[in-house]
Amino acid sequence: MWDRVLDRMLRQFFVTGALDLTYPNGTTRRYGPGATADAHLALTDPALPRRLVLSTELALGEAYMDGTATLEGDDLDGFFALIVRNNRASDAGWRRWGARLRKWKRVVDQYNPAHRARANVAHHYDLSGELYDLFLDADRQYSCAYFTRPDLTLEQAQAAKKHHIAAKLCLSPGMEVFEIGCGWGGMALTLAQDYGVRVLGVTLSGEQHKVATERAARAGLSDRVRFELRDYRAVTGQFDRIVSIGMFEHVGVPHYREYFDTVRERLRPDGIALIHTIGRAAPPGATSPWIRKYIFPGGYVPSLSEVAAAVEQADLFPTDIEVWRLHYAETLRHWHDRFAANEDRARALYDARFCRMWRYYLKACEHTFRHNRQCVFQVQLTRRQDAVPLTRDYLYPAEAPRQMRAAE
């Protein structure tokens, strides 16, 4: 029975390209209008058709992790490109019902008081530091890089990201900066060393706090950079600048107003905040159940409308909104390739199932950014509309004289 139900679901879902699927009984069927298959998926566990019918995304990810769903040539690129294209094009009724159920459920999934937020962060960020060294750049930037040219290395693109954000903060030596979600400290150390500011960075990850503090001491910056193992909502006082990179995805929609109220309260009247977050160029949705269970519990990618509504309610002025397209797809490609090159070392740290999970995560996310409506938002916020220059020339000073000559 379950084979027949899954067969009907897949015939509705695949409207472009083609998938060859081998069932546990050895039968192979083609789904989609393509003349040749873009990917070939083989199921070996007789329980899988039922699980795929009841929870498709979760069951598929778990089966790949367990090795009971395998791809010919382990072609995750071909498979995810096909799946994501059909996710956008297909209007199958069963998918609409699943999406509605997830949206109803998301308030519970995204409820992130301080104690739960701490547990969610530990799930992902307190993994072995050696794991992150296998695929991140030397500065351990675990967020979207900025490829100002396609031939940049990952290290160069991550440095470009940090300096682009610093430009939007309009820094002056001696300013006090509050970083919400400091990661392993790379951004705070760059701001202190290159721009002469003082930084307070907070994180809920014990591993990140330890590494960031050690890095500040080694760099001789402990007098200008302080890291605290603390929830951002517990910080008091006011700051000249606030920066948050790749943390807003963990806030949860029920807490958006609280987050932006905190930003406003911590920001001095003439201050500037820069929020860098993954976003969806689509209406509000819900997190993949596989991503929520195995990668980012409590995580959610916001739509611009959700961010804007919370900003308005907090009485903040949006002075610049920039959308990065495909930069994260390229970042994830670099991460995957580095991880794959070091997979033997990752397997020694964890096991083969973990490595399959991590590659699946990196490739699924890459193709979501590459083929779906996922991007990065950088939102610059102030309490006064004249707190930043009136044009964007200050972000690209080398181009300003040329622009002025062109206007003459």
Cα–Cα distance for residue pair 401/355, rounded to 1 Å: 50
> Strand (E) positions, 134-260?
176-180, 198-203, 225-229, 239-245
Q: What is the CB neighbour count within 10 angstroms for residue 295?
A: 20
**Type of residue at 323:** V
Cα–Cα distance for residue pair 245/182, rounded to 1 Å: 8
Residue among 204, 134, 199 at smallest CA distance from 169: 199
Tokens of 187: 């951004």
Kindly tell me the sign of the dihedral angle through the C-alpha atoms of 223, 217, 163, 274.
negative
Q: Is 365 labeled as catalytic in the residue annotation? A: yes
- The structure tokens 């980012």 sit at 296
Cα–Cα distance for residue pair 278/287, rounded to 1 Å: 13
Contacts of 53 (CB under 8 A, 6+ apart): 2, 5, 6, 9
Cα–Cα distance for residue pair 313/255, rounded to 1 Å: 12
Tokens of 306: 């959700």
CB 126 within 8 A of CB 207: yes
Quickly list DSSP for 152-172. --HHHHHHHHHHHHHHHHT--
Residue among 375, 285, 281, 360 at smallest CA distance from 329: 375
CB 239 within 8 A of CB 201: no
- Name the catalytic one among 144, 182, 365, 375: 365
Half-sphere exposure (Cβ direction) of 198: Cα atoms closer than 13 Å = 10
| Residues assigned a catalytic role | 365
